Every structure is written in C-alpha cells, then in structure tokens.
Amino acid sequence: MRHGELIGLRDLLEANGIPAMIQSDDTGRMLTPLVTRGQSLWVYIDDQADEARALLDNPEHVVANPVDVEAFYASTRDIRDNPAVMNRVLIRLGLTVGLILLGMLLIIPLLRRLAT
C-alpha cells in the first residue's frame, strides 16, 4: 500500500475518534525487535482495533467509543516532554527490578537449604 493511501486511512480513523500511526521502516525498529519492511497502519488504543477494522471496511460505520484525538495527542506530548514523569517511571522500574533481584537473592539460600 502506498504511503498516501495510508495517510488517507489514518485520517479517516482519526476523524472518527481513533488515534492511529503509520509504521514505516524507521518506526518498525521501535515497535518490534525484528526489523519490519514496508509500511502499515497501527491503532494506539487496543480496544479500538475492531472498530478501526469495521471503519476501514465501511467508511459509513459509526464508532461506538470515539476519543478526542487532539486531547489524546496532547496528553502523550505532556508525558514525553515532562522530565518529572519520565523520572517517576524510571524510579519505579528501578525499584521493581531491585525488588525482584532482592527476592531472588533471598530465595537462593532457602533453595540450597532445601536441597541438602
């Protein structure tokens, strides 16, 4: 599918309250561990995937739960551009990994004791 056609489909989805993005060769590396070739259309909100398919099959389809696309993108910009949010995410990730490692270290002596 040509890039222009994908832009048209993305615009159709977003005009009906379904935020979407076009995956290209460059964005494919961010979304999957394997490099994907070509372009495809992705829906941001998983719960809207069936609605998106129905809308693409029938442009007259009325989306049951549309979102405010502008507000959706504004909220994602706020998260990306705010260092405090990223710091909280990284701190929580670090604490989670630390607790998992600590739990593993505490279980090792218990398993050794049970094995003997």
Q: What is the pLDDT of residues 39-70, one digit of tens each?
A: 889 999 999 999 999 999 999 999 999 999 99
For tokens 């909100």, name the residue. Answer: 45
pTM over 0.75: no
Please check the confidence at residue 2 and state whether its pLDDT lies above 80: yes
Please check the confidence at residue 91 and state whether its pLDDT lies above 80: yes
pLDDT of residue 82: 74
Per-domain boundaries in the chain: 1-67, 82-116
Residue 79: band (very low, low, confident or very high) from pLDDT cuts 50, 70, 90:
low
CA–CA distance, 74 with 78 (Å, rounded to integer): 6
Closest CA to 10 of 26, 29, 24: 24
Least confident of 7-11, 63-67, 75-79, 101-105: 75-79
Q: What is the mean pLDDT of residues 1-28?
A: 86
Task: Indicate the angle between helix axes 3-15 and 49-57, nearest 10 degrees.
Answer: 110
Residue 35's contacts (CB-CB under 8 Å, 6 or more residues apart) are 25, 28, 29
H/E element, 41: strand 40-43
Amino acid identity at 91: I
Contact, 44 vs 73, CB < 8 A?
no
Closest CA to 18 of 53, 69, 76: 69
